Amino acid sequence: MAKSPFFARIKADVLMTVASIPEGGVVTFRDIGAHLDVMPRHVAYILKMLDAEERVVAKAEGALDVARLPHGVPRQTRPASAPVSRT
């Protein structure tokens, strides 16, 4: 069964956010979920379902502010079902 376009958007936003975390940085599922206006368990699910090749595991020491990371994903204030235009 194909994933919805909304799932694809959320996954892309989660991956862009996670990719911007510097080595050694710590961000919780809750922090990412709050920034993207999705439940933390959705963030965890997306990361859990990545292929082994897509995963990066690092030890981290300090919590970071998700909004200050250079991911380019704006803080979400709309429902996850709202359409989005990325142009």
Q: For 16-47, how does the pLDDT look when each residue is reduced to its tens digit (9 = 90+)? A: 888 888 777 778 899 899 889 899 999 999 98
Three-point CA angle 44, 47, 48, nearest 5°:
80
If one compares 83 and 46, the residue with the highest pLDDT of the two is 46
The C-alpha atoms of residue 40 and residue 42 are separated, in whole angstroms, by 5
Q: Are 20 and 32 in contact (CB under 8 A)?
A: no
Structural domain boundaries of the chain? 5-68
The C-alpha atoms of residue 41 and residue 87 are separated, in whole angstroms, by 29
Q: Summarize the confidence of residues 44-68 as an average pLDDT.
A: 65
Report field, pTM of the whole predicted structure over 0.95: no
